Structure 1
Amino acid sequence: MDKAIKLIETEDGSHSLYVPELDETYHSFHGAYRESIHVFFLYGLDYWFTHHPHQKPIRVFEVGFGTGLNAWLALVWAEQNKVPLLYHTIEPFPVPEEVYTQLNYKNIDQDIRLYQGAFDELHQAEWDKGGAITPYFNMKKDKTTLEKVQLYPTDVVFFDAFAPSKQPELWSKDLLQKVVDAMNPGAVFVTYCAKGQVKRDLAAVGLKVETLPGPPGKKEMVRGVKL
């Protein structure tokens, strides 16, 4: 395993990664799996689809491929709902194979074990190219930064960057504006972060901002809808 990254188990039994250099984890200590479902699906993708049930395919942009958990759950969502999903994700520092092969997400929920093989396929997919992973899930995975990436029209944004205290540049108003400019009218932006400055900046760049109940262990999260 990469010495710069440590595998940890969160409170719901699912794995996350700890980065000593940043003193930061990829997910909440209170449950990586529960956090992802709550923030990005319950209040993100599910919310958008409830309000736009006939608009397909759905276009998702993720900031931070990381462990691949969000992408894999999005693939499962697309297959289970039989809704085509175009998933664009970025990651400048991919997780090494010797690390991602140890992650236990495939064993957390029996209902989604049917899609176990797809988890490794997501990590093994070629960088900077797009293609179908499953019949309903098409992914483009770019090995680049938010500053440099070319964005496409987007319906749902999974903003899963490290915390503003750890990587403040990713939360700058200029980069938030770049993301919002690519969002379609009515598109949804979700993040676990509920800091006041982030909410003010999101409102300033054109989103209607809601403060919502957070996942286990966190009081609040944020959703923005493009006006």
Structure 2
Amino acid sequence: MNNNDKEQFCEQPKVEVRATADGSVTLFVPVLDEHYHSRHGARQESKYVFLKQGLWPLLQAGGGLARPLRILEVGLGTGLNALLTLDSAFAAGALIAYDGLETYLLPAAVVAALQPEWDQRGTLLKELFAELHAAAWGSPTELLPGIVLTKMHQPLQEAILPPSHYDLMYFDAFAPDKQPELWTEAIFEQLYAAAVPGAVLVSYCAQGQFRRNLRAAGWLTEKLPGPPGKREMTRARKLG
């Protein structure tokens, strides 16, 4: 497979831009009948699941002040979680090293269709959105002083993650029935090995088998109330 074929493959499946209930937008994948974010509110889901239950407690405890807070996102997607995280961290004066794994490249036309929403969020987020999507894959990019993003264009199963490295993991893959290969015990063993003791993993998903696979891989799990439209979500921690 040549590079052009590979890029075309990774741009699949095709996506559509759709509004969600809180006024923010998401992407819909017709072939999977799946949205990138909650239809009840993409932005409010991201803030609740990944920031409120993952990032903010670490920032409040002083994370990112002595050294960069190391974050891994599985499912970089539109960049929503990354942008809200970097904005919050910058406001808190924290240092961030953010690695985002993504299999599918978004076509330029889709990125352009998402840009207007960020144009309404102020100059900083408008510029961050453009810079995030313009950043080269596989190379660290300093988007703001002390805020470094590395976009990783590869499946999680093929990623070589540094051992005992990440403080926080955002597990934002498509649902287990859409991407079952990403919700296995082996995957969560891989992530456990890449996490520092005390690291946190957060996900919108609260499926029973998901939590059992996490526990089998060594994670301590807890169910939390979910964002609007979802009854529960999951937070897990690496003991040690």
**Which TM-score band applies after superposition, normalised by the shorter structure?**
over 0.9
Q: For 1:102, what is the secondary structure of its paired residue?
A: helix
Q: Which of 27-36 and 143-152 deviates more? A: 143-152
Greater mean alpha carbon deviation, residues 202-211 or residues 12-21: 202-211
Instruction: Give the one of 70, 75, 85 matched to 1:64.
Output: 75
| Partners of 2:174 and 2:204 in 1: CA distance | 10
Distance 2:228 2:156 in 1: 28
Alignment of 1:200-219 (within 5 A): 200-219=212-231
2:6 corresponds to 1:14? no
Q: Aligned equivalents of 2:45 and 2:226: distance in 1? A: 8
User: For 1:52 and 1:86, how far apart are their aligned partners in 2?
Assistant: 15
* Aligned CA distance change for structure 1 residues 142 and 3 (closer, same or farther; 3 Å): closer
SS in 2 for 1:129: coil
The match for 2:52 is 42
Q: Count matched residues.
A: 224
**Structure 1: 5+ residue runs without aligned partners?**
none
The TM-score with structure 1 as length reference comes to: 0.94
Structure 2 SS opposite 1:132: strand
What is the CA deviation profile of residues 38-78 of structure 1, one whole-angstrom value per residue up to 9, with x for unaligned ones? 00000001122334545531000000110111111112112
Aligned residue for 1:70, secondary structure, equals helix
For residues 95 and 117 of structure 2, what CA distance do their matches in structure 1 show? 23
Deviation at 1:96, TM superposition (A): 1.3
Query: In structure 2, what is the equivalent of residue 183 of structure 1?
Result: 195
Q: Alpha carbon RMSD of aligned pairs, Å?
A: 1.6
1:194–1:211 CA contact under 8 A, matched in 2: yes
Instruction: Tell me the alpha carbon deviations over residues 73-112 of structure 1, each in whole angstroms, 9 at most, x when there is no partner.
Output: 112112111101000011111111210221244156x5x5
Aligned to 1:94: 105
Write the letter of the residue equivalent to 2:166: T
Name the CA distance, whole Å, in 2 between partners of 1:22 and 1:148.
Answer: 23
1:148-200 deviation line (CA, Å, top 9, x unaligned)? 11213100000000000100001111011101110000000000000001111
In structure 2, the gaps of 5 or more residues are 1-11
Greater shift in the superposed pair: 147-156 or 188-197: 147-156
**Cα distance between partner residues in 2 of 1:55 and 1:223:** 25
Identity of aligned residues (%): 42
CA distance in 2, matches of 1:203, 1:51: 25
2: CA distance, partners of 1:34 / 1:201? 27
Is 2:128 aligned against 1:118? yes
Q: Distance in 1 between matches of 2:117 and 2:220?
A: 33
Q: Secondary structure at the match of 1:101?
A: helix
Which residue identity lines up with residue 37 of structure 2 in the other structure? H
Q: Is the 8 A contact 1:75 1:136 kept in 2?
A: no
1:195 to 169, 182, 207: 207
Match for residue 4 of structure 1?
14
Distance in structure 1 (CA, Å) of the matches to 2:13 and 2:209: 34
How far does residue 3 in structure 1 lie from its aligned partner after superposition?
Answer: 8.7
Is it true that 1:222 corresponds to 2:234 in the alignment?
Answer: yes
Q: Does 1:25 align with 2:22?
A: no
Please tell me whether the aligned partners of residues 69 and 105 of structure 1 are also in contact (alpha carbons under 8 angstroms): no
TM-score by length of 2: 0.89
Match of residue 128 from structure 1: 138
